[in-house]
Structure 1
Amino acid sequence: MTRLESTDRELPLHPRRDDVFAGGGEVGELCRAIDWAATPLGAPAGWPQSLRTTVRTMLTSRFAMWMSWGAGLTMLYNDAYARMTLGAKHPWALGRPSSTVWAEIWKDIGPRIEGVMGTGVATWDEALLLFIERSGYLEETYHTFSYSPLSDDDGVVAGMLCVVSEDTERVIGERRLASLRELGAELASATREGEALRATAAALERSRHDLPFSLVYLFDADGSIRLGCASGATPGSPVAPRQLDRDSAVWPVADLLRQHDPLVVEDLASRFPGEPLPQGDWWAPPQRAVLVPIDRRGDERPAGFLVAALNPFRRFDFEYRGFLDLIAGQIGASLANARAYEQERRRAEELADLDRAKTQFFSNVSHEFRTPLTLLLGPAEDALGDPETRPANRARMEIVHRNGLRLLRLVNTLLDFSRIEAGRVTARYESTDLAAYTAELASSFRSAMERAGLRLAVESRTSARVHVDREMWEKIVLNLLSNAFKHTFEGEVTVVVLERDGCAVLEVRDTGVGIPPEQLPHIFERFHRVPNARSRTHEGTGIGLALVQELVRLHHGTIDVASTPGVGTVFTVAIPLGAAPVGEEQLGAAGEDEKLRRLSGTSTAAYVEEAQRWL
C-alpha cells in the first residue's frame, strides 16, 4: 500500500479493502454486524471500488445522506440521516430495499429515483411535503433534497445518492406564525364582541392545516355557554352545538373548568359516531381535539374556551400547545378589549344623555327665568324713565335694573350655550369690515379702562371684509375684553385685527396677572375657573370663554391662548377670509350693519356697565 512520509508518522493514503465502514460512527458499527452476503449487495469484499468509496464518504459525512445501490435499490445511510429522519425505522432500514423502507412515500420518490437511474440526471426538491411513518403514525414532514446518480466501476449508473435536510419545523413554524399574524391583523380593528368573533372565525378559517376545525364558546353572565364562532364546522352541527351546559356530553366543559389547563379530548370518531368530522385541508379527519381556556383579564374564571381539532399528521407537542395558547390569548385579549370598549361606549352614551338632559334643563330654566326677568325689568325701566320717581325709589330701581340686566345676561349666555350644544344655532354671515366693527366694539370699553387707570390700544392692520355673524362676533370681542379688564390691574389692553395665512386674526393682549401653565389646557372648558386667580371680581360662571370657543367654531375658526404669569395673556382668534367656509343659505345681505340685535341682553352697554361695577 502506498504511504506518504510525515515527520511525525506515516498516514495511509487509502483504507484497507476490509475497512469500508471505518469512521462510520454508530451506523458504521451496525453495518459491520450485517451479513451483507445475504443481501443483493453481497459481501463488502466483493463490492466495486466506486461503491466502497461512496459508502465510506457517506458514512463519514456529518450531513444527512442515504443511498440506494443495485437492482434491488438496497438502502444505506449515515448517522445524521438516522437521527434526523428515520426515527423508529432505524436500524431496521439498513440493507433493506428502499421501496420497502419508504413504502408510504414511494409514489412520491420512486419516480424520481427511477428517473435518476434511467437518465443519469440529478433531481432537486425544496421543502417537499412527504407523509412518512417513523413514529408510529403518518407524519406531515417537509424535506429539501437532491438525488444524484452513482456509477459503478464501468461507468454505468448503478445507484443514487440522496443529500437531504429536513425543513419540517421551519415550514410548520412559519405557517403557524403566519396564522397568528393574520389573526392579530383581523382582530386589530375589532371594537365589539361580535366583530372580534367574526374576525376570529375569518382568520382561523385560513389555518385549517393546523386547525381542521375550531370553535369558540363563551360563558355568559347567566351561566349559559354559547357558541361564539366556528371555523371549518357548521354552527348547530353535532360537533358545534349553539348551546352547551357544564355537564355536556359533547365537550367536557366541567373537566376543563376543574383543571383550568388545556384538555385533550381523544378519539373524536367514538365521541361523534356516524358523524363525518370536518377534515380541514387534509384527506383524513382529526382524531383528537384540545379545549383551551380563554382567560378573562383580572378574573380567575375564563371568558370561554377554544375547541381546536388537531392536525391528524402532527404530534401534540410543546410547540403545538404553545401555538394554541397564543391563539386563545389573542382571542381573550380582543374580547376583553371589545368588552372594555363597549363599556366605555355605553358610559359615553350615558354621559351624552346626561349632557343632553343638562342642556335641556339649562334651556328650560333659562326660558323660565327670562319671562319673570322681563316682567321685572319693564316696570323698573318705566320707573327710571318717570321724572316723578322720587330719588330714594330711583336708587332702589337702579339697583333692581342693574342686577336684573346682569342676571338676564347670565341667563342669555346659558341659553346661547345650550342652543349651540343642541345644534339649534345657525349663524347668519354678513360681509363686514371686521377691523372697523371690532374697533367700534372695543372703544366702548375705553371709559371703563381709563377709570381703572389702564390704556386701551386698538390697532387695525387690515381693511378686508369678512363674513361673520355680527352678533356672535360682538360676544366674542366683548367677552375677551371683559376677561382682560377683569384680570388686568396696570398697563394696557391691546386689540389688534390683522391678516395672516388666509385668515382674519383678532388678538386681545393684556398685561394682567396671567394664567398658570397647568391651567391653560382647561381654560376653554365649561364652568372652569382658574383657582386663586387675582381678579376685580369673583363673580361669574366660568362659561364665557367656553361660549367664545363655540362661537369661533361656528365661524370655522380657531382660538388659542398664550400666557405668562405676572406678564400677561394673549387670546388669538383666526377666522377664514371670504365666504368659502359657509353655505349660501347662511350668507346674510350686505349693508345690514345697523340692524337690531336678535338676542336680548347681549348689547355692548350691558358688558360695559357690568365692567364699571367692578371698579
Structure 2
Amino acid sequence: MRLTFDFLSNGGELGALMRAREWGTTPLGPPEHWPTLLKSTIRLILTSRHPMFLWWGGELVQFYNDAYRLTMGPERHPGALGQRGRDCWEEIWPIIGPQIETVMAGGGSTWHEDQLVPVTRHGKREDVWWTYGYSPIEDHDGVHGVLVVCNDVTAQHNAKAALERMNLALTEQIAQREHAQRLEGIQTGQRLRAEQALREQREAETTRLRSLFEQAHGFMCILRGPQHVFEFANSAYLRLVGERALIGKSVREALPDIVGQGFFELLDAVYASGKPYKAGDLRIELRVTPDSAPVHAYIDFVYQPIMENGSVSGIFVQGFDVTDRTMARQALQRSELRLKEGMKVARMVVWDWDLASNEVVFSDNAPELFGANWTDMRHVWDYLDPDDLRRMELGRRDALQSHGSYGEVVRLRRPDNGQTVWLQVYGTVVADQAGDAHCIRGVSIDVSARKRAEESLREAGRHKDEFLAMLSHELRNPLAPIRSAAHLLAMAPENASRVKTSSVIIERQVNHMTSLINDLLDVSRVNTGLVVLDRQLIDLHQVVLESVEQTQPLISERGHVLSLDVPAEGEVAVWGDRKRLVQVLTNLLHNAAKYTQPGGRISLEISHHADTVELHVRDNGIGLDAMLMPHIFDLFTQEKRSSDRSQGGLGLGLALVRSLVSLHGGHVTAASPGAGEGATFSVYLQQHAAPPGAGGAGRGTGQHAGAGLRLMLVDDNKDAANAMAMVLESAGHVVMVEHDPLRALESAGSFGPDACLLDIGLPGMDGNELARRLRASTHARAATLIAVTGYGNKYDKASAVQAGFDHYFVKPANTAELIGVLARIKPHAGASCSSPLGERIEG
C-alpha cells in the first residue's frame, strides 16, 4: 500500500527530501508512527518562510526548512537532515550544546541576540553572528524537542560595527581638525584640502555602509533630525512598509497609517534621550497601498541613536519581520489552549504509564476529575472498585500480549470527598524500538452523568412495571365481588335481603373503581396542563371540614384517633381552588390512615405566620424508608406493603398532591425519623391578606354560619327523594319534598326556600322549565338552584346553566360535595331554622 503523509506535503526542497528519506532506519522509525506533536511541528517548519530548525528526541534528530538551508554550506546540507545534533555541529557544540540541554531539561525558552557562533561553510571557517531563540516543544509528558528560529545577522552586525567605527573616526577627525585649527602656522589651503579629504572619506564610508545595509537580511533605515526624515531605507524595509516613496519625508508624513501605534513616540523619546530602544514581537498595522485594508505584522527592532558632536543627529533603525515565527507560536498556543478546554468540557484526562517504573503522568485537569493527581499507577488502583479493577486487568493483559488496546468502565472513589466517579478508560500499548511493551498511553472520561441517566431510566422502568402490575391487580379485584353479586341477583331477584346486600357490594366496589379511575384522570390532566384552577377566596376551616368528612369513614373503620388543631372559621384564607385543596388534604389524611396501624394516631395542624400558611398531617404509622424519601412524591411510588395489598391504591395520591400544591404556588415536604416511626407531610401555601368574607359574594356564595336551610327537593322518584331528604335532614336542614313540578311552584310561595334541588327528568314539566319559573317567581327568585339529575353530558349541563341553575350534580350525587355546597349558602333573613336538627315538610 502506498502511503501519503499530509504533514510532509509541499515544503519545497526539504519537504521532498523528507518524503524521500527512509526513516525506518533512524531512531524515529516510519513517519506514520511519529507522535502527533512531532508531525504538527514539522508541518509548521515546512510551511514557514522564516529559517527554522528542529532537534527532536534524546538523540536530537534534526529537521529544517528551505529558509534555513540558505544559511548552511554544502558541508552539511542535505546530510544534516535526520542526523544527530552532536554529530552535525561538533565544532560549535561547546557553545550551543549547553543551551540545548537547558531547554530539554525544562529550563524554558532562551533568546540570544547578535551572538558570534563561527561555522565552517563553503570550505572555510567564517565568523557568523546570529540572533536566535530556542523554544521547547512539549506536552504533558515533558519536553520532546527544541525548535530554533534564527536569523543570520552578520551583515547587520558588520554594518553596525562599521557605523560605530565611522562615528569614532568622525569624532577623531573632528578633534584633529579642531586641533589643527588651533595650531599656529596652518595655512588656509591646507585646511580646505583636509576638509575635502574628510568629506570624500565620509562619502566613501557612507556608500560602503549603504551597500552593506542593502545586502542585509533584516530591515534597516536611517532617520535624520527631530522630525525623523528618511535618509536611507533598504529593500527589506520597503518590503515591510509597502513600496512607497520615503526618502526626504518624515516618518509621520511617509507612514500615516501607523499613527496611534506608539512608534513615533518611541522615536521622539530616543532622539531626546540619546538612549537606544529595543523591542521584540511588537505588533504593527500597515497598509501595503493607500487603498488597501490594513495588515498586521510582528517585528523585532532596535532604535540606535546616531551621535555627532556629542548630540543626537539621527536614529539608525534595524530589525526583522518575525511574523511567521510569532504566528506559529500563537497558533501552537491556541492549539494547546483548545486542547485543554476541550479536555475540560469533555471531562477527559490523558495519561502515560511507564510499565517498568509504574510512573504515571496525568494531564493538568486530573485533580478536578479524580480528586487527586497520582504519580504511581499502583496508588490509583487503591481507589478503584476491586471488581472493576480485576475486569480491567484482564483486558489489559490481552492488550499487552497483542500490543493492542483495551477499554473498560470502572468506578473510582475520589480521595478528597469520597464520591464515586464512573470512568470510561481506554488504553493503548506503546512498544519501544525493540518491539517490547514500553508504556501504556490512554484517556479516562467521566461518564457519571450517563451512568446516572441509565440508572434513572432503569428505575423509571421498574416503577412503570410495578405500577402496571398494581393497576391490573387493583382494577381486577373489584370485578370478583361485582360478578358474585350479579350472580346472587340473578339467582334470587325476589330475596330483598340478598338484593340489598348485593347492591351494597356493587356500590362499594363501583365507588372504589371510580376512585381509581378518577385518580388516573386527575394525574393525567395535571401532567398535561389541562387542569385550570377555579380560584376563589377560600376559608381553610371549610376545607378541613370537607376533607375530614370524606376521610372519616376510613379513619373510623381502622379505629384511629384524629386530633385537629386548626384555625377558627374565617381566620385563615388562601386564594385557590376549593375543590382541589380539599382533594390535597383528603389525599394526605387518606394516606395517613392507610399506612397507620389500626388504633393509631393522626393529627392535622394548621398554623400561619407572616404570609405563609402551613398544613401538617402527622401519624405514628409505618414511617418512610430513607431510600424512598427522595422519590416519595414521584408517580407510581409507594411504600412497601404486604402481599395482600390491604392498603389498596395506585401510588398516585402523593404525586397528585405535589402537582396540585405546585399549581397553587406552594410546595409540599415529607419527613420521617425512620421505619416504624411515623411520618409528617407538610403543605406550604401563601396566605391571603383579606379575610374570607371580605369579597363581594353573589347569590348563593355567602358563608354559612351554621344555621340550617329551607330546602325544596323536587323528584318524581319517591324513593330517591326520600333517601336524599334523610341525608339533608341529618345535616340540619328543613326539607320540603315535592314529586310534581306544578305543586312545587305552588309550595314555593308559602315555603320560601333558600335552595331548591330539582330533578331534570320531571313529568309534565322538566327541571329546566321549573328552574326558569322559580327564577321568575317572587318567593324563590333569590334561591340557589341545584340540579340533581341522571343526565350527565355536557349539553345537558349547558342547558341547565342557561335555565338558571347554580350547581349541577349527576346521580348518584356525592353527598359530601352536596352538603359542602349547601354549607356555603346563606339563609334568607328571618327564614333560618331554629332547630339544630332538620325536619321534613311533605308537600
Q: Which category describes the TM-score, using the shorter chain as reference length?
A: 0.3 to 0.5
Give me the TM-score of the superposition, normalised by structure 2.
0.34
Give me the TM-score of the superposition, normalised by structure 1.
0.44
